[in-house]
Amino acid sequence: MNDKRLRHLLGIEELDRDTAERILELAGTFHEVVRRPVRKVPTLRGKTIINLFFEASTRTRSSFELAGKRLSADVMNVGGSSSSTSKGETLRDTIRTLDAMHADVVVIRHSVSGAPHYISSRTRASIINAGDGMHEHPTQALLDAFTMLRHKRRIEGLTVAICGDIAHSRVARSNALLLGMLGAHVRLAGPRTLLPHRADAWGADVFDRLEPALADADVVMMLRIQQERLGACLLPSLREYSQQFGLNKRRLALARSDALVMHPGPLNRGVEIAEDVADGEQSVILEQVESGVAVRMAVLYLCANEPERPIEG
Ligand code: NCD
């Protein structure tokens, strides 16, 4: 397989449609690999991947770690509070240090929007954005699209309602950009204080009530309120929020009967999503986690692989 290397994955904004489709296609191959009895290929043997996470993460970090290991790379985790930034080192010096260790790929999560872009011009390694502040989370959007494709066989023409705290969500932005690029109709729904000022610029329809956004939707994606990014109090109370914007069975019935229920996690059960909906028949929340490993294998493969090395090795 002769793939062009992907220099960095900073955001969906920088990604073209061909590359996005290639990642999704490759993820299909890796999805098969992770379902085999021996879930490992030698493709990235001898390559070094460093996970540099300055913000909390369960799924994304373990998913990148597992993806790197499934490809036989050496994977190292560097955490925020255990790294030298807590001793006053700048991000630039941290990245120069990792560069001196000949990292091939650095996966970074940071609370500052644009942090991955900043380091990408200061390192030899490929940079993958695993979430930067309120900006982008490109691999989450790719794994969401992959999950939709597995169920619906297409993205073109799907109606996807993304609901909740849109303004502070990097998942919402990356999904709106990617799904829009792939031809879906994207709806964004949330209380006015949690909608971005220029949401229409994301190419989506915007709703300040949940019900009209859910009508006949093929996919309903619920988002957590980003308490850590709210700053001022933008919500009267969580109880009121949940009453008006929580996804329960009655509201889900407004969407198509075969609509998928998605959530990037972590879930706040009883707030944005009712217990029985999160665990219900239409929920593909755990499949999203499974897709994450395959999609991240595809992204790591395109960032770290020598073009002539095939997947089977
Ligand atoms: C998301 C994130 O960190 O942006 N989680 C994730 O990566 N699975 C969403 C969130 O934290 O709400």
Q: Are residues 129 and 146 in the same domain?
A: no
List Cβ neighbours of 227 (8 Å cut-off, separation of 6 or more). Answer: none
Residues 68-108 have pLDDT tens digits of 999 999 999 997 666 667 677 889 999 999 999 999 999 99
Residues 125, 164, single domain; the answer is: no
State phi, psi for 227 to the nearest 5 degrees: -50, -40
Residues framing ligand 1 (Cβ under 6 A): 59-60, 131, 137, 140, 170-171, 224, 264-265
Q: In a 3-state reduction of DSSP, which class is residue 305? A: coil
Indicate the angle between helix axes 285-304 and 17-33, nearest 10 degrees: 110
pLDDT for residue 62:
97
Distance (Å, whole) CA 259 – CA 281: 10
Counting the structural domains of the chain, the total is 2
Q: Is 7 domain-assigned?
A: no
Q: Are strands 48-53 and 185-189 parallel, antiparallel or unpaired?
A: unpaired
Domain that holds residue 60: 12-136+290-304
Q: Is the dihedral of CA 260, 156, 213, 238 positive or negative?
A: positive
> What type of residue sits at position 9?
L
CATH number for the domain harbouring residue 267? 3.40.50.1370
Rg (CA), the chain: 19
Q: Which residues contact 234 (CB under 8 A, 6 or more apart)?
A: 191, 193, 194
Query: 273 pairs with which residues across the strands?
Result: 247, 269
Ligand 1: centre distance to CA 65 (Å): 16
Q: Average pLDDT for consecutive 10-residue bins of the chain (313 residues)?
A: 83 97 98 93 96 93 98 91 72 90 96 96 95 97 98 98 96 97 98 87 93 98 89 76 97 98 97 98 98 98 80 61
Residue type, 220: V
Instruction: Find the 193 Cα to ligand 1 centroid distance in Å.
Output: 20
pLDDT at 313: 47
Q: Is residue 43 part of a domain?
A: yes
Question: b/e for 68-94, b at 16 or more Cβ within 10 A?
Answer: bbbbbbebbebbeeebebeeeeebeeb
Pocket test for ligand 1, best of 58, 63, 139, 140 (most atoms within 8 A of CB): 140
Give the H/E segment covering residue 160.
Answer: strand 159-163
Give the atom of ligand 1 at the shortest distance from the alpha carbon of 171.
4
pLDDT at residue 56, as a whole number: 87
Nearest CA to ligand 1 atom 11: 266
Examine the domain organization and report whether 27 and 127 are in the same domain: yes
Q: How far apart are the first and last CA of the chain?
A: 11
pTM: 0.95
